[in-house]
């Protein structure tokens, strides 16, 4: 938003292409500046599921003492993770994991959903950029810090 404002004259009309929800804050900022906003839902997210093979693999990880390193790129993804982890009795394993998030606002969602305290937050949640290389670098750094394979 700051970058768009710094460019000078703002557009009169903006098209936001998104899933079935999201980008509300941005749309509100535009509207407050007299810009007409059109929103197009280009795709629909469906509720995630975990098949039996995946659940079996995750349970093998639990049994072997692996610490999960989980990349979170959206609030919806975090909520789906919590729901599925609870559904498959893997919630406590996830709570003890490490999380790489691509946006600071996802930190608070994780804290709330996994009931993490301030100390846990500082030790378990790592902020990366949104670029693939930044995410990969963060995951590798976290893995080195906990000696995972």
Contacts for 56 with CB less than 8 Å, ≥ 6 apart: none
Four-point Cα dihedral 23, 25, 30, 36, nearest 10? 60
Bridge-based pairing of strands 125-127 and 13-18 is unpaired
Q: pLDDT digits over 76-107, tens only?
A: 899 999 999 999 999 999 999 999 999 999 99
Q: Is 94 exposed, middle or buried (0-12, 13-18, 19+ CB in 10 A)?
A: buried
State what percent of residues in the chain have pLDDT above 70.
98
Q: pLDDT digits over 102-137, tens only?
A: 999 999 999 999 988 887 888 899 999 888 899 999
Q: How confident is the model at residue 6 (pLDDT cuts 50, 70, 90)?
A: confident
CB count within 10 Å of CB 143 equals 15
Q: How far apart are CA 76 and CA 33, in angstroms?
A: 29
Average pLDDT (62-84) is 92
Residue 149 pLDDT > 60: no
Q: How far apart are CA 36 and CA 22, in angstroms?
A: 17
When computed from its CA atoms, the radius of gyration of the chain, rounded to whole angstroms, is: 19
Whether 129 contacts 101, CB under 8 Å:
no
Whether 24 contacts 2, CB under 8 Å:
no
| Whole-structure pTM value | 0.71
């Amino acid at each position: 938003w700051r970058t768009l404002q710094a460019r000078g004259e703002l557009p009169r009309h903006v098209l936001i292409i998104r899933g079935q929800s999201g980008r509300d804050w941005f749309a509100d900022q535009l509207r407050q500046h007299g810009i007409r906003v059109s929103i197009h839902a280009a795709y629909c997210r469906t509720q995630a599921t975990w098949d039996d093979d995946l659940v079996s693999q995750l349970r093998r990880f639990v049994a072997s003492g692996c610490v999960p390193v989980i990349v979170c790129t959206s609030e919806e993804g975090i909520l789906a993770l919590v729901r599925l982890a609870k559904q498959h009795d893997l919630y406590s394993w996830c709570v003890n994991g490490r999380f790489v998030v691509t946006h600071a606002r996802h930190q608070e969602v994780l804290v709330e959903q996994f009931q993490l305290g301030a100390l846990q937050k500082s030790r378990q949640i790592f902020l990366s950029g949104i670029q693939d290389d930044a995410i990969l670098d963060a995951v590798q750094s976290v893995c080195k810090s906990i000696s995972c394979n």
